[in-house]
Each structure stands twice: as structure tokens, then as C-alpha cells.
């Protein structure tokens, strides 16, 4: 019933608007083409300048309401992110100036040069000087932006520092898997056909001795404040994207083609909670490449902690090998484990 | 006697005898359905485009409903969408299908076919002085391939597993694996077939446009006397002909990967619930290269016709020549060239070689220079003009405003070091909707308002036109301006719901605001449609040949031109089309011979 009613109301509004505009069209015919054109020009010319003024007021209001909710207000949480923010402000300044000048000219000209019977338009078809000016000036401004941009770009995409910790991040529909290389600091080999969702979610090759101490976690990744971290990204199924809003970086996770990114976090999660005044603050990994119906819920958490806290956490982690083969866990069944490990090593040799 | 002249003589002769040839034995079927008259084909493209614009717009209203009111349920949604809106709330599957179809339809069916299909067909013969396209038959086929593509795309909406739902860019493996998403089953096959048909349509049309512009100009119409609309449509056609085949090749490989077990795009994949696939050695990124090799020129396929029409309309209504004709032409040309050299700026975060990325940064930001030239030239055209605010002119001015706003954010996104943060966020959504979506829509509206009298011999209702313009431009800014802020908060695009995200959930009220405005703007477009269809039959009749006092050739044809356009000889051209306010004359049509005491001619 209410549906029918609202449809009726909407149709009614359309009919009313249509009838009014139709009537105004008849009026303008009665007035004569010249007179009604003059009137229309006046009204629209006035609206042009009004739109310009209201537009800038709107921008101010919008900025006031929402700037505080953006990442810019919060500040970046990595040294890379600080560079991104700095560049954002430089670009904003340059494009902002151009924006204001051109929009003001556009609407002001439209208002000022509306048709006037007593004025003749100025025949002005060409001016090499003017055209050179507005080729050269933007070219210079762009050069500055390109230089800034590329300097940062090459820094962001450079090799990670030697002392960086390494974490492997694998995307799957719809979650993230993290692998740490363990004590030997080397990842064991992996092959996708070994994937077993229960015990070996990234397809580690257990024959590889480096794999024995690899640690797998899901949902939450721990990294250390002030220490560069290099992420090796991959995907099990479709393309995902590791979006790190607070660190101002993102990189695709592509099946079959590993990609990398690195950054240095500068605030722990706890420090960010104080900084933002939000007790629920967490660093979130968002999937930024559409990956299926659960795309919007593909969330990971990053805990940025101090070195000590990280070490405490790391000690508690059990190598995935022992989850896959509980019988070989030395803490559980010491004798049997030593036996098979020897066998596996021989097999590999 | 040149070949051209011979052709004209022959045609002219024929039309004398038959009084606008073909007019005699036209049946309903040959006049309105399988028409070979470029003007009728243009109208077919326009109206089909409008149907798609309404459907595509309606889809955006539906998914904006979800984004604006994620916690509410609307029982009436279930009555129209059935299982796609169980309990009155759109399902994620339906949401992604809507987003994907909205994108595909708006980009290809509305802003490519509906825009350049309409105006290339309508304006090329009329403005260059030709009786029809080089091949009217191919031209007809072009429309019917588009129509078939439309039917196939439409049918995918009614498939059990739903239409394709992996985004309009259709990146594999998501689009290649049937089991990765329900939308990647039959819906995707139909999507590919539809797009393949669309490529054929666009090639048939494009080749025709190029051939017509190059070979069938009337006497005296040298290339540099062409209106900028024609130049823009020419470059558009060239872009389409050179880039659409690449998309087709990418899609063919995708069909093979989907259905015949090849591994062009697939490698090392384990699908939940299915297990490890046997495909190895493919590259998922290859598709992105092929896709964006079309995808980026496509942006200019959408924009250039709008730029061309806006140039023409601003010049006519400012009663001034377009400023810097050759610079406008040069910038169109350089945009067309650069369009092919920037595709990888969509791929900065795919793991692209950083050096390659830096080259694409440079080439991408270069586009700002010709774009800047165009903007400054439009502004100078307005300067010291005598502006008539017809609805067409308003939309043209709106186009310039939107093109500035959206173009400037392109400088942000084209810089890889910023893209690495803003990529695939709402900032991108805001950017391309303003610069490509809404701006081109404005170009299209400007074109429709300006050439409607030529199309149907009647005027559109002016007052409704004004209302349409002011609500739409204010609404467009209210929808897309705040999205920049969401983007700067890192909010990713294509999210069904933000409420579980600590970082992105602070915009619930803004989302509601945007959705509400979107619905109002959509309702306003219905007002335009009412105006359009009412005026075709009941609008005020055009009584003068040249209602806008314009210089171009289309206004020398009869008020309702028949097939063949000019009843007698095709007029000869003596000057460029922009002699407005020259030597004290308000306007001097192209057909007026150069006077003896005239000041320097173009």
C-alpha cells in the first residue's frame, strides 16, 4: 500500500514539475524569443556566480566535516607513509591553486560575459604567446611533481634494508595467511599442489629442511616498531591486494607471481591508540582488489609491538611442521620425532 | 575532376531525380528498424544508450541503497529482485553483480556506443557535407551488433547463477575460474560474448567514421576547416580501431582459459572446495596489460567526443571563434597518441618493474599538458564573448568545470608514489566518475540539447533543461566531491559493507547523504527523459533553418532532412566554421564565400 502511495506521489511530483515548465515555455513564447532569451540569460548568469560561491562554501563545509576523519589528520604510521603525506600536500597545493583559478575564471566569465545587446563579442582566434604560456607553466609544475614523485617511488620500491625482517603474506578467498621463516631466517620451499587447508595452508614442501621451523599464522601479523619489514606477497587463488592504509602502501598479491613491499612502522599499535584517541584502534589489512563475494570482509590485523614483546610472542609460536606431523613434535613424542626427521633428511639427499 | 567531386555529382544527380533518394520505397522496417540512414542509426544508438543509461543508473541506485542504508531492509526490494535481495537486503553477490554491470554498461554501452555511436553517426555526414556514411550498410550492421551485444548482456541478468560480478575490468583468475565466484559461471561467458559483439560493432562503426571523414568531405572542406567535433570523433574512431582488437584478443585467451584448459592467465592456483588446479606457467598480469591497452584509450574514446562537442557548443553560444583551433587540434592529437602510452598507470601496484612504472608516470603526467591547453582555450573562448545560456551551453560549461575537477585529481593518481596509497580507493571512484563519467555525460547532454532541433525538428523544453542542468551539476559535485575524503581515509572501492572495519566505518552518515543525493539526481534524469520523448512528438516546432545561428553545415539542410541530407547539391565550403563576430558580422556560415574586404582568413 505504502509502495503504491509513494509511486503515486512521485508521479504526481513529475506531473507538477512538467506542467509548470510547460506553462513557463508558453509564457516565454508569448513574451517573444528575444525577451525570453534575455531573461533566461540573466537568470542563468546569476546562477553561475551563485554556484561558484555556494560551491566554495560547500567545499569549506565538507572539508570541515570530513578532513578530521581522513588518514591525513591522523598522520602516517611508517616512514614511507610520512613521505606519501608530504607529497599529498605538495600535490594538493599545486592542483588546488590551478583548481581555484580555473573554476573562478570559468564561472566568473560565464557570469560577466552573458549576452548583452550593446556589446559585441571580441573576435580573438589565436595567440601564440598565450598558448606558449599555458604549455610551459604546467610543464614546469608537472616536472616538479614528477621529480618528487619518482624520488619517492624509487625509494618505496627499492630493495629492503639488510636488517629487515621478512614475512610472507598469502591471500586466499577470504583471508590472509602469514608465514615467518623461523630461526634459520630462510623460508622453506612451497608448491601449491601441497596445499592442505587444515595443516599446510600455503603448500610448504616438508622435505625442505628450511621448512621445518617455518611458522604459519592467520588473521594477525606481528611486526616490530622501528624495524623495516619486508613482505613477500602471493595468492592462493585469485588476485588480492594487501592494502595498508595506515602505512600508506599497497601491493597486489598475485597467484604464481610473488611481489614484495617493505616499510618501517614508527608507532606501535598501543601508541597509535593514544595518538588517535581511539581505544579500539588496530592496523588493518584491507583487500583492495575485488576478489569475490567476500571481498569486503577480507580483513587482516597487524600488531606493531616492541622488540621484547615480539620476542615473547615469537617464543610461543610452534613451527607448522609439528602441527602437520604432531607425532614428530619433540615436546610431545621425542623419540619418534628424531627418527623420522633423520629419514626425511636422507630422502631429500 | 577529383574523385570526391565525381562522387558528389553522382549523388547529387540521383537525389534530384528521386527528391531525396530512397524516400519512395521506405517501409516501416527499412526506415525505423533496418535503416541505413545515418541519422536514424544515430537515433537508434541514442535511444538504446538511454535505455542502458536508465538501467545502469538504476543499478547504481540499488547499490547506493545498500551503501547508504546497510542496516535497513526494504521489503519491496525482495519483491522485485527475489533471491538477490532476501529479506529486503541486497546480497553481496547481487551487490557485486550490480557494481560490475553498472560499470560495464555505463562505460561501453552508454558512454561509448551511446555517445560516439550517436554523434559520430549524426554529425559526421552532416558537418562534413556528405549524404551518408561511406558504407551505410556496415553502419547499420554496427548498430545491430551493438543491439545483439545488449541483448546478450541483458540476458546475463537473468541467469540462475547471476551476471558476472568480478568488476568491469574482469581480471582473471577471478573471471577465469568458474568456482571462484558464482558470477564467474555462465554470467561471465555471456559477458565475454557480449563484449566480443560490442568490439565488432565498434570496429564496423569506427572504420566507417574514419573512411567517411577522410574521403567524403564536400568541396572546399579541407581537414583544417573541419569543426572540432569532427576532429574529436575522428581521433575517437582511430583510438577504437587500434585498441578494441587488443581487448578482443585478451578476451579470446580468457575464453580458452575458462573453457578449454589453457593456462594463459593461470598459474599455481588452489581454489577453496575444489583443490589445486593443473594450470601452471600463465601470468594473471598479462590480461591486465591487454585489458588496459584498450582500457586507457577507452577513457579517451569516451572523453574526446564530449570535448569536441563542447568546443563547438561553447564557440557557437559565446558568439566567438574557438580560441586556438590549431592548438585544440594538436592537443586532441597528442592526447590520442599518449592514450596508447599510459596504460600501465592502472597497474602501478601489480608488482610492475619500478623503472617501467616511472616511465609510465612521466607519460601519464604529460597528458596534463594538452588537457591544460584545452581548458585554458575554452576559458579564453568564453572571455569577452556574448554568451547565450542555452541548456546545451550550460552543460558545456558544466563539462569544463567537471573536467577540471576530475582532471586535476588525475595528477595525483598518475604519480605512482601517491597511487601506491590511493589505488582502488574511493579517491579513484571520485576521480574517474567526475572526469570520465559525469563530464562525458554532460558532453552528451550538451550534444543532445544542441542538436535535438536538427534530429527531430522540434525544441526540447528549455525550462526543464535548466532544471535538469542545475540539479545534475550540483548533485554530481555533492555525490563525488566528498568521496575524495573517503579515499583519503583509505576506504577501498567495491566494498559491500564497511561496518566491520575500524578504519573505514566513520563515514556512515556521509554514505547516507551520498546515496540520497544519488537518488535525487537519478530522478532528475527521468525528468530529462520525459522532456526528450515528449518533445519528439509535442515539442515546439523549429521554424528557422539555423536556430542557434551557427556556422556549420548541418544547419544548411532542411529542418527535417531526408535520407541524403541536402535536397539539391551539397553546399560548397569556403571557410573554417568559427567565424563568429568577425568584421562586425555576428556569424558567417561556412558556405559564405570569402568577401574581398574581409580581414585575415583562417
Chain B residues touching A127 at Cβ < 8 A: 323-324
What are the DSSP calls for B279-341, one per residue? --S--HHHHHHHHHHHHHHHHHHHHHHHHHHHHHHHHHHHTSPPTTHHHHHHHHHHHHHHHTT
Model pLDDT, residue B601:
60
Under 8 Å between Cβ of B578 and B381: no
How many inter-chain contacts (A to B, CB under 8 Å) are there? 376
For residue A327, the model assigns a pLDDT of 87
pLDDT of residue B11: 44
Nearest CA in chain A to B582: A123
d(CA B95, CA B60): 10
| pLDDT computed for residue B583 by the predictor | 87
Q: CB of A282 within 8 A of CB of A269?
A: yes
- Rounded to whole angstroms, how far apart are CA atoms B78 and B62? 12
Rg (C-alpha) for chain B, rounded Å, is: 24
Asked if A127 reaches chain B (Cβ–Cβ under 8 Å), the answer is yes
Look at residue B518 and tell me whether its pLDDT is greater than 70.
Answer: yes
**Number of neighbours of residue B331 by Cβ within 10 angstroms:** 23
Distance from CA of A35 to the nearest CA of B (A): 13
CB atoms within 10 A of CB B69: 16
**Taking 90 as the threshold, does the pLDDT of residue A33 lie above it?**
no
Torsion of CA B305, B309, B310, B312, to 10 degrees: 140
All domains of chain A in start order, with CATH: 29-114+133-156 (no CATH), 165-348 (2.60.40.420)
Rounded Cα gap, residues B227 and A325, in angstroms: 76
A68 touches chain B (CB under 8 A): no
Place of cell 572540432: B228
A338 has pLDDT over 90: no
- What are the beta bridge partners of residue A249? A244
Q: What angle do CA B322, B323, B329 make, to 5 degrees?
A: 80
What mean pLDDT is predicted for residues B420-439? 96
Q: In 3D, which of A272, A74, A296, A70 has the Cα closest to residue B490?
A: A70
Q: How far, in Å, CA of A286 to CA of B227, rounded?
A: 49
Q: Over the stretch B59-87, which tens digit does the pLDDT of each residue have?
A: 999 999 999 999 888 888 898 888 999 88
Query: What percentage of chain B reaches a pLDDT higher than 70?
Result: 96
CA distance A238 to A248: 23
Please determine, for residue B51, whether its predicted confidence score (pLDDT) is greater than 50.
yes
Residue B190 CB contacts under 8 Å (≥ 6 apart), including other chains: B152, B153, B155, B156, B159, B163, B164
A282 touches chain B (CB under 8 A): yes
A1 pLDDT tier (thresholds 50, 70, 90): low
- Contact criterion met (CB below 8 Å) for B432 and A259: no
Query: Would the pLDDT of A3 be above 90?
Result: no
- Quote the mean pLDDT of chain B: 92
Residue of B nearest to A10 (CA): B523
Look up residue B452 and give its three cell numbers: 535535438
Contact A245 B503 (CB under 8 A): yes
3-state SS, residue A301 = strand
What is the rounded distance in angstroms from the CA atom of residue B342 to the CA atom of residue B364?
5
Compute chain A's Rg from CA coordinates. 31
Region B344-353 average pLDDT: 94
Q: How far apart are CA B550 and CA B313, in angstroms?
A: 9
Please choose, from the candidates B109, B111, B143, the residue with its C-alpha nearest in 3D space to the C-alpha of residue B301. B111
pLDDT at B87: 87
The 10s digit of each residue's pLDDT in B483-502 is: 999 999 999 999 999 999 99
Supply the pLDDT for residue B15: 42
> Comparing B527 with A345, which gets the higher pLDDT?
B527
Matching residue, cell 558470477: B183
CB atoms within 10 A of CB A33: 11
Domains and CATH numbers, chain B: 38-587 (1.20.210.10)
Cell (9 digits) for A46: 546569476
Given a cut of 70, whether residue B8 has pLDDT beyond it is no
C-alpha cell at B386: 556574448
pLDDT at residue A31 is higher than 60:
yes
* Pairing of β A259-263 and β A229-235: antiparallel
Indicate whether B539 pLDDT > 60: yes
Cell numbers describing residue A155? 625509494
Of the partner residues B351, B408, B412, the one whose CB lies closest to the CB of residue A254 = B351
Q: Which of residues 412-471 of B touch A (CB under 8 A)?
A: 412, 415-418, 420-421, 423-425, 461-464, 466-467, 470
Using the predicted structure, report yes or no on whether residue B1 has a pLDDT greater than 60: no
Give the span between the Cα atoms of A57 and A63, in whole angstroms. Answer: 10
Nearest CA to A218 among A326, A299, A280?
A: A299
pLDDT tens for residues B405-417?
999 999 999 999 9
pLDDT above 90: residue B18: no
pLDDT class of B547 with cuts at 50, 70, 90: very high
pLDDT at B324 over 90: yes
Report pLDDT for B6: 40
Length of chain B: 602
CA A281/CA A275 separation, integer angstroms: 10
Tens-digit pLDDT profile for residues A190-222: 999 999 988 999 999 999 999 999 999 998 999
pLDDT in tens, A271-309: 999 999 999 999 999 999 999 999 999 999 999 999 999
Give residue-wise pLDDT tens across range B565-587. 999 899 999 999 999 999 888 99
**pLDDT at residue B517 tops 60:** yes
pLDDT digit string (tens) for A55-110? 999 999 999 999 999 999 999 999 999 999 999 999 999 999 999 999 999 999 99
List CB contacts (< 8 A) between B324 and chain A.
125-127, 130-131
Task: List chain B residues with CB under 8 Å of A40.
Answer: 389, 462, 466
Nearest to B30, CA basis, from B45, B15, B40: B40
- What band does A330 get if pLDDT is binned at 50, 70 and 90? confident
Backbone angles phi, psi at A319, to 5 degrees: -55, 140
Contacts of A148 in chain B (CB under 8 A): 417
* A235 φ, ψ (degrees, to nearest 5): -140, 150
Cα of B591 vs its chain's centroid, Å: 31
Segment B263-299, tens digit of pLDDT: 999 999 999 989 999 999 999 999 999 999 999 999 9
Residue B397 · residue B314 · CB < 8 Å: yes
d(CA B396, CA A169): 49
Pairing between strand A220-224 and A299-305?
Answer: parallel
> How far is residue B513's CA from residue B509's CA, in Å, rounded to a whole number?
6
Q: Report whether pLDDT(A349) > 50.
A: no
What is the ipTM score, two decimals? 0.92
Q: Which of B354, B386, B498 is opposite residue A157, by nearest beta carbon?
A: B354
**Does residue B197 contact residue B148 with C-beta atoms inside 8 Å?**
yes
A107 contacts chain B (CB < 8 A): yes
* DSSP letter, residue B544: S
CA nearest neighbour of B229 among B125, B136, B139: B125
Mind listing the pLDDT tens digit for each residue in A165-180? 999 999 999 999 999 9
| pLDDT grade for A328, boundaries at 50, 70 and 90 | confident
Are A293 and B400 within 8 A, CB to CB?
no
For residue A245, give the nearest of B483, B490, B419 by alpha carbon.
Answer: B490
pLDDT tens-digit series, residues A108-153: 999 999 998 888 888 998 899 999 999 999 999 999 999 999 999 9
For an interface test with B, give the residue of A143, A157, A253 to mutate (most B CBs within 10 A): A157
Task: Quickly list H helices, B159-223.
Answer: 186-215
Q: What was the pLDDT predicted at A337? A: 45
Q: Which among B412, B288, B184 has a CA at the least distance from the CA of A252? A: B288
Pick from A82-86, B15-19, B263-267, B392-396: least confident: B15-19
Crossing angle between the packed helical segments B439-456 and B118-128, to the nearest 10 degrees? 50
Rounded-to-integer distance, Cα B249 and Cα B247, Å? 5
Q: Which residues pair with A223 in a beta bridge?
A: A304
In the predicted model, is pLDDT for residue B174 greater than 60?
A: yes
CB B190 within 8 A of CB B163: yes
Q: Which of B444, B435, B452 is nearest to B469 (CA)?
A: B444
Q: Cα angle vertex B185, ends B184, B190, to 5°? A: 90
| Chain A residues touching residue B400 (CB < 8 angstroms) | 106
Angle (CA) A53 A57 A61, round 5°: 170
CA A68, A74, A79, A83: dihedral to nearest 10 degrees?
10
| B411/A91 CB distance under 8 A | yes
Taking 90 as the threshold, does the pLDDT of residue B3 lie above it? no
Q: Residue A292, by phi and psi: left (phi above 0), alpha (psi -120 to 50) or beta? A: left
pLDDT at B71: 87
Is the distance from CB of B491 to CB of B426 less than 8 angstroms? yes
Q: What does chain A come to in residues?
A: 349
Which candidate, B104, B388, B432, B467, places its Cα nearest to that of A20?
A: B467
What sections of B29-135 are H helices per DSSP? 38-68, 75-81, 92-104, 118-128
- The DSSP symbol for B499 reads T
The C-alpha angle B26, B27, B29, rounded to 5 degrees, equals 120
Decide if B544 touches A, using CB distance below 8 A: no
- pLDDT tens-place string over residues B105-148: 999 999 999 999 999 999 999 999 999 999 999 999 999 999 99
Query: Strand, helix or coil at A177?
Result: strand
A308 Cα distance to chain centroid: 31
Q: Rounded to whole angstroms, how far apart are CA atoms A46 and A57?
A: 17
Question: Residue B602: its pLDDT value, please?
Answer: 60
Amino acid at each position: 500500500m505504502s509502495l503504491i502511495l509513494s509511486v503515486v506521489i512521485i508521479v504526481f511530483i513529475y506531473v507538477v514539475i512538467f506542467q509548470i515548465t510547460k506553462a513557463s515555455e508558453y509564457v516565454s513564447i508569448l513574451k517573444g524569443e528575444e525577451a525570453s532569451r534575455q531573461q533566461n540569460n540573466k537568470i542563468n548568469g546569476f546562477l553561475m556566480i551563485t554556484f561558484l560561491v555556494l560551491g566554495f562554501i560547500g567545499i569549506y563545509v565538507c572539508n570541515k566535516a570530513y578532513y578530521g576523519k581522513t588518514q591525513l589528520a591522523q598522520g602516517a604510521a611508517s616512514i614511507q607513509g610520512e613521505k606519501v603525506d608530504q607529497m599529498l600536500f605538495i600535490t594538493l597545493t599545486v592542483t588546488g591553486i590551478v583548481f581555484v583559478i580555473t573554476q573562478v575564471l570559468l564561472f566568473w566569465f560565464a557570469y560577466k560575459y552573458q549576452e548583452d545587446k550593446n556589446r559585441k563579442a571580441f573576435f580573438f582566434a589565436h595567440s601564440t604567446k598565450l598558448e606558449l604560456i599555458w604549455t610551459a607553466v604546467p610543464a614546469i609544475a608537472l616536472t616538479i611533481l614528477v621529480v618528487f614523485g619518482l624520488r619517492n617511488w624509487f625509494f618505496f620500491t627499492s630493495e629492503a634494508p639488510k636488517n629487515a625482517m621478512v614475512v610472507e603474506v598469502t591471500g586466499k578467498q577470504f583471508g590472509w595467511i602469514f608465514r615467518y621463516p623461523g630461526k634459520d631466517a630462510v623460508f622453506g620451499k612451497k608448491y601449491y599442489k601441497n596445499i592442505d587447508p587444515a595443516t599446510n595452508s600455503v603448500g610448504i614442501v616438508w622435505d625442505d629442511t628450511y621448512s621445518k621451523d617455518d611458522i604459519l599464522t592467520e588473521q594477525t601479523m606481528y611486526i616490530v616498531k622501528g624495524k623495516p619489514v619486508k613482505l613477500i606477497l602471493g595468492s592462493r587463488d585469485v588476485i588480492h591486494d594487501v592494502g595498508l592504509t595506515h602505512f600508506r602502501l599497497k601491493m597486489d598479491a598475485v597467484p604464481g607471481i610473488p611481489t614484495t613491499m617493505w616499510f618501517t612502522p614508527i608507532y606501535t599499535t598501543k601508541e597509535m591508540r593514544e595518538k588517535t584517541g581511539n581505544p579500539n584502534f588496530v592496523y588493518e589489512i584491507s583487500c583492495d582488489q575485488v576478489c569475490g563475494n567476500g571481498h569486503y570482509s577480507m580483513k587482516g590485523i597487524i600488531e606493531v609491538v616492541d622488540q621484547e614483546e615480539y620476542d615473547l610472542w615469537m617464543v610461543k609460536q610452534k613451527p607448522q611442521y609439528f602441527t602437520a606431523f604432531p607425532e614428530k613434535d619433540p615436546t610431545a613424542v621425542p623419540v619418534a620425532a628424531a627418527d623420522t626427521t633423520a629419514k626425511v633428511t636422507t630422502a631429500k639427499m | 575532376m577529383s574523385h570526391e567531386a565525381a562522387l558528389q555529382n553522382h549523388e547529387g544527380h540521383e537525389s534530384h531525380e528521386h527528391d531525396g533518394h530512397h524516400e519512395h520505397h521506405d517501409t516501416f522496417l527499412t526506415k525505423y528498424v533496418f535503416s541505413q540512414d545515418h541519422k536514424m542509426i544515430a537515433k537508434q544508438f541514442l535511444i538504446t544508450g538511454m535505455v542502458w543509461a536508465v538501467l545502469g543508473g538504476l543499478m547504481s541506485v540499488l547499490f547506493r541503497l545498500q551503501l547508504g542504508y546497510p542496516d535497513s531492509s526494504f521489503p519491496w526490494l525482495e519483491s522485485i529482485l527475489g533471491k538477490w535481495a532476501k529479506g529486503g537486503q541486497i546480497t553481496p553477490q547481487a551487490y557485486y553483480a550490480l557494481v560490475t554491470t553498472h560499470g560495464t554498461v555505463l562505460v561501453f554501452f552508454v558512454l561509448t556506443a551511446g555517445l560516439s555511436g550517436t554523434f559520430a553517426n549524426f554529425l559526421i555526414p552532416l558537418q562534413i557535407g556528405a549524404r551518408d556514411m561511406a558504407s551505410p550498410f556496415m553502419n547499420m550492421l554496427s548498430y545491430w551488433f551493438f543491439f545483439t551485444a545488449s541483448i546478450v548482456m541483458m540476458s546475463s541478468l537473468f541467469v540462475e547463477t547471476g551476471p558476472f560480478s568480478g568488476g568491469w575490468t574482469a581480471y582473471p583468475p577471478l573471471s577465469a575460474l568458474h568456482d571462484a565466484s558464482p558470477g564467474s559461471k555462465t554470467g561471465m561467458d555471456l559477458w565475454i560474448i557480449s563484449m566480443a559483439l560490442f568490439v565488432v560493432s565498434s570496429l564496423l562503426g569506427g572504420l566507417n567514421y574514419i573512411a567517411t571523414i577522410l574521403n567524403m568531405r564536400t568541396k572546399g572542406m579541407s581537414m583544417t576547416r573541419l569543426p572540432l567535433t569532427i576532429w574529436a570523433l575522428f581521433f575517437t574512431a582511430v583510438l577504437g580501431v587500434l585498441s578494441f582488437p587488443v581487448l578482443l584478443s585478451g578476451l579470446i585467451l580468457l575464453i580458452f582459459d575458462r573453457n578449454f584448459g589453457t593456462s594463459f592467465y593461470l598459474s599455481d592456483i588452489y581454489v577453496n572446495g575444489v583443490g589445486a588446479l593443473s594450470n601452471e606457467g600463465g601470468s594473471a598480469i598479462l590480461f591486465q596489460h591487454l585489458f588496459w591497452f584498450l582500457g586507457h584509450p577507452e577513457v579517451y574514446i569516451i572523453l574526446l567526443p564530449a570535448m569536441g562537442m563542447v568546443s563547438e557548443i561553447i564557440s557557437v553560444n559565446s558568439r566567438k571563434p574557438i580560441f586556438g583551433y590549431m592548438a585544440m587540434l594538436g592537443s586532441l592529437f597528442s592526447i590520442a597518441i599518449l592514450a596508447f602510452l599510459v596504460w600501465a598507470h592502472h597497474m602501478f601496484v601489480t608488482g610492475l618493474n619500478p623503472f617501467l612504472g616511472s616511465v609510465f608516470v612521466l607519460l601519464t603526467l604529460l597528458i596534463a599538458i594538452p588537457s591544460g591547453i584545452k581548458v585554458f582555450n575554452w576559458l579564453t573562448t568564453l572571455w569577452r564573448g556574448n554568451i547565450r545560456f542555452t541548456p546545451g551551453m550550460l552543460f558545456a560549461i558544466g563539462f569544463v568545470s567537471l573536467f577540471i575537477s576530475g582532471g586535476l585529481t588525475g595528477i595525483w593518481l598518475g604519480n605512482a608514489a601517491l597511487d601506491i596509497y590511493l589505488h582502488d580507493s574511493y579517491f579513484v571512484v571520485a576521480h574517474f566518475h567526475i572526469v570520465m563519467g559525469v563530464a562525458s555525460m554532460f558532453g552528451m547532454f550538451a550534444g543532445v540539447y544542441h542538436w535535438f532541433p536538427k534530429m527531430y525538428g522540434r525544441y526540447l523544453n528549455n525550462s526543464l533543461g535548466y532544471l535538469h542542468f542545475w540539479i545534475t551539476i550540483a548533485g554530481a559535485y555533492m555525490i563525488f566531491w566528498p568521496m575524495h575524503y573517503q579515499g583519503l581515509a583509505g576506504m577501498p572501492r567495491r566494498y559491500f559493507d564497511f561496518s566491520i572495519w575500524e578504519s573505514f566505518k566513520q563515514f556512515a552518515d556521509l554514505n547516507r547523504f551520498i546515496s540520497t543525493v544519488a537518488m535525487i539526481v537519478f530522478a532528475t534524469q527521468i525528468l530529462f527523459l520525459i522532456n526528450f520523448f515528449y518533445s519528439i512528438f509535442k515539442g515546439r516546432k523549429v521554424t528557422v533553418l539555423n536556430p542557434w545561428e551557427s556556422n556549420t553545415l548541418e544547419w544548411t539542410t532542411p529542418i527535417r532532412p531526408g535520407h541524403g541530407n541536402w535536397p539539391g547539391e551539397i553546399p560548397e565550403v569556403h571557410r573554417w566554421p568559427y567565424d563568429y563576430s568577425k568584421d562586425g558580422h555576428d556569424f558567417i556560415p561556412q558556405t559564405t564565400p570569402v568577401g574581398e574586404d574581409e580581414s585575415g582568413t583562417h
